[in-house]
Copies of this chain bind each other. A is one copy, B any other.
């Protein structure tokens, strides 16, 4: 049986995908049953890194998603529109869809999955999270026996590269960001990466899959890395931690419906498996019962890795279609369309540990006051250390035990009013 692909987009990932399909030797033999019927592009005359027959290229993307010859539409143009509309049209025309588009899935996943369910087609998205790392398919096809409790990911390569460079070279954020832009690891407008929005897209997708719940993207709390300083990285190091931008989805208790969903810089113990994930690499840790912890590690971006994930999705669809001879009932593992909404806990209700740094004039007095105020708000301290000096002010670093975020914030407010406290330069959560 031969299957025909319509590719939307021939950028980095599109070219990587075409490259694999045009060169099947040494890869899975099922690739021999797959051909690219059409590729939708912006301009027919652009120089390409790959030879494409002229009749395959078209600028009419609409004609691809409704082409009766095409079995699978692969959306690689990114962004919200026209991606969303093209995906919905493809589904309405009975086509299976593969997409690498985290933004559209994070925001319109529910609409898209419901349409796919009605039309009995697959919408697969391995490449939307973690680049080449198999994580979406393993969540669906390999971890279903488990009650998933936690997903913690380093899912943004740009910020992980920046934090790694800051850690290894002691450089400042702004400096490393510039380098990252020069190297192509960060975009000209780095907002989506450095503010944690990209990671928030990805964790909302993972949470929806892992907990089988409809997750609203706007419910994800996110905090970026722009205020992380090399001093904090230094102090964290002395305390036995590295700082990573983590995306966390958690079910605080199995009998509870509430999920915790958040993206923020985090102190991670050096012995933790995620602590050694450096540079542009990504990793996703999944914790469940009875499995315990598993981690998936690899390249989070790039033409080849992302194309590997896109083609994995295509192969999964073709594999299932070959086995059921068009019988057209969906494999319940591979399809996914969460029906229940997920209430998300407000960030104030989330319980975590904190690292906070204070600049103060009077050390012995301050330590006493800090202890009293934290105590008043039910914040228990794991350690209080005077760790350095800055402009004649003593630097005190506090690490708390687990505490409800709301309580911790109230304590901080009260502490800010203390005469001796001159500044609170950093507050960072601890894993």
Query: A residues touching B (Cβ–Cβ < 8 Å)?
Result: 16, 19-20, 26-31, 126, 132-134, 137-138, 141-147, 212, 254, 273, 276, 288-299, 302-305, 307-312, 315-316, 319-320, 322-325, 327, 329-334
Looking at A137, A302, A323, A327, which has the most chain B CB atoms within 10 Å of its CB? A323
Q: Is the CB of A132 within 8 A of B315?
A: no
17 contacts between A and B (CB under 8 A): A19-B290, A29-B332, A137-B138, A141-B141, A145-B307, A145-B312, A273-B297, A290-B307, A290-B308, A292-B298, A292-B299, A295-B295, A295-B296, A297-B297, A320-B323, A322-B332, A325-B329
Closest Cβ neighbor of A322 among chain B residues: B332
Closest Cβ neighbor of A251 among chain B residues: B26
Q: Is the CB of B144 within 8 A of A28?
A: yes
Q: Is the CB of B27 within 8 A of A311?
A: no
In the docked arrangement, what's the CA distance between A28 and B31, Å? Answer: 30
Closest Cβ neighbor of A277 among chain B residues: B273
Main secondary structure of the interface of A (DSSP, over half): mixed
Q: Is the CB of B311 within 8 A of A333?
A: no
A30 surroundings in chain B (CB, below 8 A)? 144, 332-333
Q: Is the CB of A146 within 8 A of B308?
A: yes
Assembly stoichiometry (copies): 2
| Given A144-B311, A297-B273, A311-B144, also A305-B324 (CB < 8 A) | no
Q: Is the CB of B289 within 8 A of A294?
A: no
Q: Is the CB of A142 within 8 A of B147?
A: no
- Known contacts A16-B290, A28-B333, A137-B142; 11 additional CB pairs below 8 A are A27-B144, A28-B144, A134-B134, A137-B141, A143-B312, A144-B315, A145-B308, A292-B304, A294-B297, A316-B333, A324-B325
Closest Cβ neighbor of A315 among chain B residues: B144
In the docked arrangement, what's the CA distance between A332 and B325, Å? Answer: 13
In the docked arrangement, what's the CA distance between A64 and B368, Å? Answer: 71
Q: Is the CB of B289 within 8 A of A304?
A: yes
In the docked arrangement, what's the CA distance between A276 and B272, Å? Answer: 9
In the docked arrangement, what's the CA distance between A403 and B304, Å? Answer: 31
Q: Is the CB of A142 within 8 A of B138?
A: yes
| Given A28-B145, A324-B324, A330-B323, also A132-B291 (CB < 8 A) | yes
Q: Is the CB of B323 within 8 A of A145?
A: no
A324 surroundings in chain B (CB, below 8 A)? 320, 323-325, 327, 329
A134 surroundings in chain B (CB, below 8 A)? 134, 138, 141-143, 294
Closest Cβ neighbor of A298 among chain B residues: B294
Determine how close the nearest CB of chain B comes to the CB of A156; give it in whole angstroms: 17
A137 surroundings in chain B (CB, below 8 A)? 137-138, 141-142
Q: Is the CB of A141 within 8 A of B316?
A: yes
Contact among B142, B295, B319 for A297, CB-based, below 8 A = B295
Determine how close the nearest CB of chain B comes to the CB of A50; give it in whole angstroms: 13
Closest Cβ neighbor of A135 among chain B residues: B142
Closest Cβ neighbor of A323 among chain B residues: B331
Q: Is the CB of A294 within 8 A of B296?
A: yes
Determine how close the nearest CB of chain B comes to the CB of A415; give it in whole angstroms: 37
A316 surroundings in chain B (CB, below 8 A)? 141, 333
Contact among B291, B303, B309, B329 for A305, CB-based, below 8 A = B291
A132 surroundings in chain B (CB, below 8 A)? 291-292, 294
Q: Is the CB of B312 within 8 A of A144?
A: yes
Determine how close the nearest CB of chain B comes to the CB of A207; give it in whole angstroms: 15
In the docked arrangement, what's the CA distance between A273 and B30, Å? Answer: 31
Determine how close the nearest CB of chain B comes to the CB of A47; give it in whole angstroms: 21
A27 surroundings in chain B (CB, below 8 A)? 144-147
Closest Cβ neighbor of A297 among chain B residues: B295
A20 surroundings in chain B (CB, below 8 A)? 145, 290
Q: Is the CB of A331 within 8 A of B305?
A: no
Determine how close the nearest CB of chain B comes to the CB of A209; give it in whole angstroms: 11
A141 surroundings in chain B (CB, below 8 A)? 134, 137, 141, 312, 315-316, 319
Determine how close the nearest CB of chain B comes to the CB of A206; give it in whole angstroms: 15
A293 surroundings in chain B (CB, below 8 A)? 298-299
Determine how close the nearest CB of chain B comes to the CB of A124; give it in whole angstroms: 11
A295 surroundings in chain B (CB, below 8 A)? 295-298
